[in-house]
Amino acid sequence: MSLEKIKTALTTEINPKIDNSEKQKLAAVLIIIYDDPPKILMTKKPMTMTQHGGEIAFPGGKLIDSDYNLLETALRETEEETGLNISKNDVIGQLKQVTTLNSGFIILPFICILDRISNLVANSEVETFLQIPLLSFLKTLQNDIDPNHNSIQEMFQFTFERNLIWGASARMLKEVKDNLEERIGI
């Protein structure tokens, strides 16, 4: 599966603003797909973090006042967490917004396609980077076993090595998987 096919399947209109008239907590993440064969970049958060400690997530974080929109949030937070300076031109689409049940954030996920990445530099919010082979990873999907969110309908889990990916990140991955299956038959 080439990056070009993945790009074609995941390209969507980008609308980086969410109506926030209810003053909810907003965040954005960047789903980075790169390399040949395709990989996806995720981070493991340190256990010492007050929110989402120990979890596997995509680079990203909360909207701050100086961010013009949530795409800027995703790009800024990704650079802070990984050292990668990614252009808006490399962002090809976005997924549906996802709400974290534990912390109450509304997250807007953006998708980025890069030929390669290098020189990852972790900040204090990253314990380690996971560079995961995309297609075999998506095949690890298990439904209805999300261990921490049994109060919702959409419970998914993915695994990579000894790492469990669940919650909001798993719901984003499920949408990526569904789009790739529907559009290019992975």
Query: Could you read off the pLDDT of 127-140 as tens digits, one per residue?
Result: 999 999 999 999 99
pLDDT above 80 for 47:
no
> Using the 8-state DSSP alphabet, how is residue 155 labeled?
-
- d(CA 59, CA 49) in angstroms, rounded, equals 15
Q: Which of 37-51, 142-156, 159-173 has the lowest mean pLDDT?
A: 142-156
What's the pLDDT at 50?
A: 65
Q: Which of 32-41, 88-97, 99-108, 167-176 has the lowest mean pLDDT?
A: 99-108
> What is the pLDDT of the chain when averaged over all its residues?
89
Helical H segments across the chain, by residue range: 3-10, 70-82, 134-138, 167-184
Over pLDDT 90: what percentage of the chain?
68
pLDDT above 70 for 69:
yes
> Using the 8-state DSSP alphabet, how is residue 134 labeled?
H
Which 3 state secondary structure label does DSSP give 118? coil
Please report the domains of the chain, with CATH numbers, ordered by start residue: 3-134 (3.90.79.10)
For residues 41 and 7, the answer to whether their CB atoms sit within 8 Å is no
Residue-wise pLDDT tens digits, 93-103: 999 999 887 77
Which 3 state secondary structure label does DSSP give 167? helix
Q: Judge residue 173's burial from the number of C-beta atoms within 10 Å of its C-beta, 0-12 exposed, 13-18 middle, 19 or more buried.
A: buried
CA dihedral 134, 86, 24, 165 (to 10 degrees): 20
